[in-house]
Amino acid sequence: MESLSSEEIQSRIKSLQSYIRKEGMDGCLIMQNVDLFYFSGTIQKAYLFIPSEDDPILLVQKDFERAKNESPIKNIVHLERPRLLSQVLKKHRAHRRLGLEFDVLPVNVFNQIQKILPESEFFDISKGIKQIRMIKSPYEIELLRHSAKILDEVFEYAKKVIKPEMTEIDVESILIQFGRKRGHQGITRMRAWNQDMVNASVLSGKSGTVLTHLDVSVIGPGISPAFPQGSSFNKIEKNVPIQIDFSIAYMGYITDGTRTYAIGSLPEKLKNAYQVGLELRNEMERIAKPGLLCSEIYFICSKIVKKRGLEDYFIGTKKDQAPFVGHGIGLEIDELPLLARGFSQPLQPGMVFAFEPKFIFPEIGVVALEDDYVVTEIGVERLTNVEDGIIYI
């Protein structure tokens, strides 16, 4: 089982320590699983204490032996009780001004930390963490390349799988098994509150137009109100769009893609909309480079869509449209950057994002494509390599 290198972890921690010092903090405590993995290399139950200057300490509750084997951090200790945290922090004189992950930390956990560290003042470290994680290292980009390769194979294999009268769940199950055998971890992590996420959805015809609570444009009906998203027991039909939205997580790193399939033919207006999706993607590839505002990509795409007369179907239905055309990917599927209205941060080398122009036609279905990109010094490089057109079976 591959572990993160000491050099990779040290580089990440130094970036966070720089942010801590800039914000006038003494250190931070990392507790959320994905952040813990990013900065320590393990997801075992632990507190990662990162002081502003000295070496970090990983205080493990469970499982100590596995954490020692997985993490390259030098100072790993067994923490029998959370209250002993105060002794460690006071010893390092770094307990007065502490950063915590306010965006994901449950209130009861925060209250417990306050009781353990009554002399501490707490600040939000989550903005710094998300900015650091937004820029991928060469190591991370290689993992994302491998993840994208598996995703490409899934979309290619789907051509052999999809048949009339199969259910959406039938197709999804076969494709998930295919991905799992190639290293897919089986779940897609999402940071946002109450935003559980399926890692695959197969949506035939009207299934693609069903709305739900998630902050996404297309998600499907699911199989019950207990989990109202994703594939259903609806059957695959002929002459309707079949959208497959799939994410692969390899060694934790998520790629996200979508392709449109059809058995038979599709109405001309759907085929035309798909061509506009390709036009948007090609224009994004042409203009995207370091320095371009992420929000500008969204506005340019919106102008093209309006010029083509498809604004009522773009990234949702007329009454419920998402104000974005892309999102960051990495260890979580909702990372920065956002190619969205209001996100005015410029593109930077090392950013990785999914670009997803989708058109939803009520009572008919969805035509969509989605590809993943890494920002380079001169533009963007596509990581996914699936055939561009509607895939006819």
pLDDT digits (tens, 9 = 90+) for 123-172: 999 999 999 999 999 999 999 999 999 999 999 999 999 999 999 999 99
161 domain residue, yes or no: yes
Considering 133, 148, 172, which residue would you say is the last residue of a domain?
A: 133
Burial class (CB in 10 A: 0-12, 13-18, 19+), 12: buried
210 domain residue, yes or no: yes
Express each pLDDT in 7-28 by its tens digit.
999 999 999 999 999 999 999 9
Please tell me whether residues 139 and 129 are part of one structural domain: no
> Are the C-beta atoms of 214 and 197 separated by less than 8 Å?
yes
Please tell me whether residues 315 and 365 are part of one structural domain: yes
Nearest to 272 by CA among 359, 154, 155, 376: 359
Considering 133, 154, 189, which residue would you say is the last residue of a domain?
A: 133
166 domain residue, yes or no: yes
Looking up residue 260, the CATH number of its domain turns out to be 3.90.230.10
Domain span at residue 40? 6-133
297 domain residue, yes or no: yes
Domain count along the chain: 2
Please tell me whether residues 143 and 165 are part of one structural domain: yes
Q: How far apart are CA 157 and CA 181, in angstroms?
A: 13
The pLDDT of residue 1: 61
pTM of the entire predicted model? 0.95
141 domain residue, yes or no: yes
Please tell me whether residues 201 and 217 are part of one structural domain: yes
* Cis, bond preceding 256 (omega within 30 deg of 0): no
Express each pLDDT in 216-261 by its tens digit.
767 788 999 998 889 999 999 999 999 999 999 999 999 999 999 9
Please tell me whether residues 174 and 263 are part of one structural domain: yes
Please tell me whether residues 170 and 256 are part of one structural domain: yes
189 domain residue, yes or no: yes
Please tell me whether residues 322 and 260 are part of one structural domain: yes
Q: What's the whole-number mean pLDDT along residues 367-391?
A: 97
Please tell me whether residues 110 and 145 are part of one structural domain: no
Considering 133, 150, 183, which residue would you say is the last residue of a domain?
A: 133
1 domain residue, yes or no: no
The pLDDT of residue 91: 77
